Amino acid sequence: MNSTTPLAKPLSLALAGAFAALFSTCALAAPDLKIALIAGKTGVLESYAKETETGFMMGLEYLTGGKMEINGRKIKVIVKDDQGKPDLGRTLLAEAYGDDKADIAVGTTSSGSALAMLPVAKEYKKVLVVEPAVADEITGAKWNKYIFRTARNSMQDALAAASTLKSGSIGFLAQDYAFGRDAIKAGKQALAATGSKATVVHEEYAPATATDFTAPSQRLFDALKDKPQPRVLAIVWAGPNPMNKIADMKPERYGIALAPGGNLLPIMKTWKAYAGTEGTIYYYYGFPKNKMNDWLVSEHTKRYKAPPDMFTAGGMAAASAVFTALSKVPSANSEQLVTAMEGMSFETPKGTMTFRKEDHQALQPMYHFRIKKDQKNEWDLLELVREIPAKELPLPVTNKR
């Protein structure tokens, strides 16, 4: 009758032990690494934000070999849309750090929103990797120790452009908001820093949503037409670029050449009629030669039937910075992350970037391009004149540490 009884107790003990071991394993399993990605996915910079998110997710995929984990901890990316609104950006970052318990955050698209987010990172004592906002104040006057930027800043853009303008007369056209005014201020400082003999003779600021450029362009033509050659009208514009409309006004009548800053691929492919025009750019898929960029170009073209754009590369750079930092600090302790990231180098589609210790700005190369005359396909747009190394860009430290 009781022949099976002796087995019952050992069996129940074995099962209890198994459940205890399982519970213990679950209890001890490392929690997810939470990364908040904030971007302006609605609004005028929507395309920039979408590219950033694509590049960020592809970057994590590449760096983790598809496992989406770091040191055995699963990665959870929490994406939030700040709509380019500073108040919303600030609220969403606080929500990410507070309610979502994000270990680290990345964002955002608009410089205005990014600037509003900086004090939140300081309040919560959590790292914020800024991508792709470019305002100099982010790593300048408004900076705090929790802020790191993978994106280039306005001064890096300006220094790259200034390196191609050695003499003559320059007129600027920019958008009338923080990005545009910051860029022109940086442009004038960059000319002085690079020893250029070129003179800025006029500046025009048009509404960010402007579609008619007749009046500001004519004022620029009038200001430039009698000034020393070469005469250059430099365009600094986020979003749909006015270059074609200005070119239709035939600035060459006054001996004026256009110098566009690099832009998104769909915009630049409308510039074919201006073969030979030169400018500078943060990234163009055909320029960097390295393993990471090769993978990004191949995989992005395969998945999206087009090569990666400049903000896709930026998103991947941010992913690499986050991955490298969290690999060095498995606990994701904020103070340890700050220490590890100061002076940290990490690989990107542009090659190696390094966070400068003084202000946490990523030092990186830029590119001098020429619009191709013979374009083999719709995305074969630019030829490389020269890669401009980071060491040739005398970027000042402007924060008060």
Average pLDDT of 206-221? 94
**Per-residue pLDDT tens over the stretch 55-111:** 999 999 999 999 999 999 999 999 999 999 999 999 999 999 999 999 999 999 999
Enclosing H/E stretch for 223: helix 214-224
158: number of Cβ within 10 Å: 29
Which one, of 181, 182, 188, lies nearest residue 153 by Cα?
182
Q: Residue 241 half-sphere exposure, CB side, CA atoms within 13 Å?
A: 21
d(CA 346, CA 355) in angstroms, rounded, equals: 9
Q: Are 57 and 75 in contact (CB under 8 A)?
A: no
Q: Return all residues near 270 (Cβ < 8 A) that are at least 6 apart.
A: 244
For the 155-281+367-392 domain, the top CATH level (class) is: alpha beta
Rounded to 5°, the CA angle 84-86-89 comes to 80
Q: What is the pairing mode between strands 73-81 and 69-70?
A: antiparallel
d(CA 61, CA 65) in angstroms, rounded, equals: 6
**Residue 379 scores a pLDDT above 80:** yes
Average pLDDT of 144-173? 95
Coil, strand or helix: which one is 348? strand
**Residue 180 scores a pLDDT above 90:** no
Q: What residue ranges do the domains of the chain occupy? A: 33-152+289-364, 155-281+367-392
Mean predicted lDDT score pLDDT of the chain? 92
Average pLDDT of 176-184? 86
Q: Are 34 and 102 in contact (CB under 8 A)?
A: yes
Sheet (strand 73-81) strand order: 69-70, 73-81, 33-39, 104-106, 128-130, 147-149
Average pLDDT of 212-236? 95
Sign for the pseudo-dihedral over CA of 128, 133, 139, 142: negative
**Per-residue pLDDT tens over the stretch 243-256:** 889 999 999 999 99
Query: How confident is residue 261, by pLDDT bands cut at 50, 70 and 90?
Result: confident
Which one, of 107, 139, 161, 92, lies nearest residue 314 by Cα?
107
Q: Let me know if the fold of 33-152+289-364 is the same as that of 155-281+367-392.
A: yes
pTM for the complete prediction?
A: 0.88
CATH topology of domain 33-152+289-364: Rossmann fold (3.40.50)
